[in-house]
């Protein structure tokens, strides 16, 4: 049973954890430890972003692939902070930064396929579903509070991104193939 990414068994652990997050998210997040540091989840996130970046380097746009790992990793900390702030201040969530970051990091699992033109937008939606499931677990929320946390945090991130002049609007995991997604969310390229 894979409940935590193990760096000493990198390939086997990555595949096992990835498969469990994607196919059994409720079971994964239920078994996921909320303590133990952020190193293993961070490396899992980086591995997912590297896989996606390799896809972009092959299929393009290459520039996005080169910057994805750096900016995706940096944004993961911002997203965890905003999700934590909303969860705790608005809904009295029980999680701390470490538990919230673990959810954000493991929720990047579907982003491995974000470089695929049609599938890319769906990976974003599934990642948001994974965040909802993970936040339920670590905060002791029901589904409604978890969904509202994601919606409010996404709005805060969008406003923050817009105010800072970012084209993606600050949306978690925004990607270049998402013309329809960006148009739907009110963003401009």
Summarize pLDDT for 132-164 with one digit per residue, the tens: 999 999 999 999 999 999 999 999 998 988 888
Least confident residue range of 62-66, 151-155, 176-180 = 176-180
Secondary structure class of 109 (helix, strand, coil): helix
Q: Any alpha helices (H) in the chain, and if so which ranges?
A: 10-23, 25-31, 39-59, 62-91, 97-106, 119-139, 143-164, 179-184
Domain ranges of the chain: 7-184
- Whether residue 40 is predicted with pLDDT greater than 50 in this model: the reply is yes
Stretch among 65-69, 95-99, 113-117, 130-134 having the lowest mean pLDDT: 65-69
What's the whole-model pTM score?
0.84
């Amino acid at each position: 049973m894979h409940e935590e990414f193990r760096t000493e068994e990198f390939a086997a652990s990555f595949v096992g954890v990835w498969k469990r997050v994607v196919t059994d998210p409720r079971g994964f997040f239920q078994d996921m430890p909320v303590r133990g540091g952020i190193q293993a989840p961070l490396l899992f996130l980086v591995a997912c972003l590297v896989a996606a970046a390799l896809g972009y380097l092959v299929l393009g746009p290459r520039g996005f692939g080169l910057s994805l790992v750096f900016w995706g990793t940096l944004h993961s900390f911002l997203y965890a902070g905003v999700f934590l702030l909303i969860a705790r201040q608005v809904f009295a969530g029980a999680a701390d930064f470490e538990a919230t970051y673990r959810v954000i990091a493991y929720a990047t699992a579907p982003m491995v396929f974000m470089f695929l033109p049609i599938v890319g937008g769906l990976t974003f939606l599934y990642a948001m579903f994974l965040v909802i499931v993970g936040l339920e677990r670590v905060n002791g929320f029901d589904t409604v509070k978890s969904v509202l946390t994601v919606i409010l945090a996404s709005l805060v991130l969008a406003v923050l991104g817009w105010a800072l002049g970012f084209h993606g609007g600050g949306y978690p995991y925004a990607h270049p193939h998402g013309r329809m997604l960006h148009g739907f969310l009110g963003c401009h390229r």
